[in-house]
Amino acid sequence: MADFQQRDPLSPAFWDERFERHFTPWDKGGVPQALQDFVAGHSPLTTLIPGCGSAYELAFLAGQGWDATAIDFSPAAVAQGKRAAGEHAARVVEADFFAWQPAAPLQLIYERAFLCAMPRAMWPQVAARWAQLLAPGALLAGYFFFDDAAKGPPFGIQRAQLEQLLRADFACIADDAVSDSIPVFAGKERWMVWRRR
């Protein structure tokens, strides 16, 4: 384990230090299969990718004609995301998820290691913001990390906790095993789609 100075995942400096030192064990280095399958089964959706990191998914979605925006509050992550996004770099934006406002109504928020990057005490705020950003019928889709280890990030959630967190505003419409997890998430994540009530 690298010796990091920054210990607060709520600070952009925490993530800057990890990107600058190339310590990103959550980074798949590409687009996961379940997202590719999801995109193949849907018409283009106006999409937000919060906590985008390297933003491989942004380049993929934009290349498929989706109106996608990727945000991160870490300047180092945004710089990495812009490099990975190539011709779509302008769609990678430095912003705070809790303050950012979409230019058009969102139809999808893609979840990939954003919730589990947040300390557990922040989860109700994340869920409330998801609900605020998505109109009824819009989707929250992505990967949810189930684990009960005390330390993080990643901070895992219990299934009952996730259902309690989301059930007031969302209904789960897909819950599938993941076949191509990276080591840090292997055997502990599910691809899930939740529809805004």
pLDDT of residue 24: 67
Cβ-in-10-Å burial (0-12, 13-18, 19+) of 161 comes to middle
User: Which residue type sits at 62?
Assistant: A
pLDDT of residue 152: 85
Q: Which residues of 86-104 are buried (b: 16+ CB within 10 A; e: fewer)?
A: eebbebbebbebeebeeee
Tokens describing residue 18? 């990890």
Q: Report yes or no: 53 and 24 within 8 Å, Cβ to Cβ.
A: yes
pLDDT of residue 21: 74
Pick out the chain residues at pLDDT < 50.
none
d(CA 17, CA 26): 15
pLDDT of residue 178: 97
Dmax (CA) for the chain in angstroms is 45
d(CA 2, CA 18): 9
Tokens describing residue 173? 């419409």
d(CA 8, CA 148): 20
pLDDT of residue 18: 75
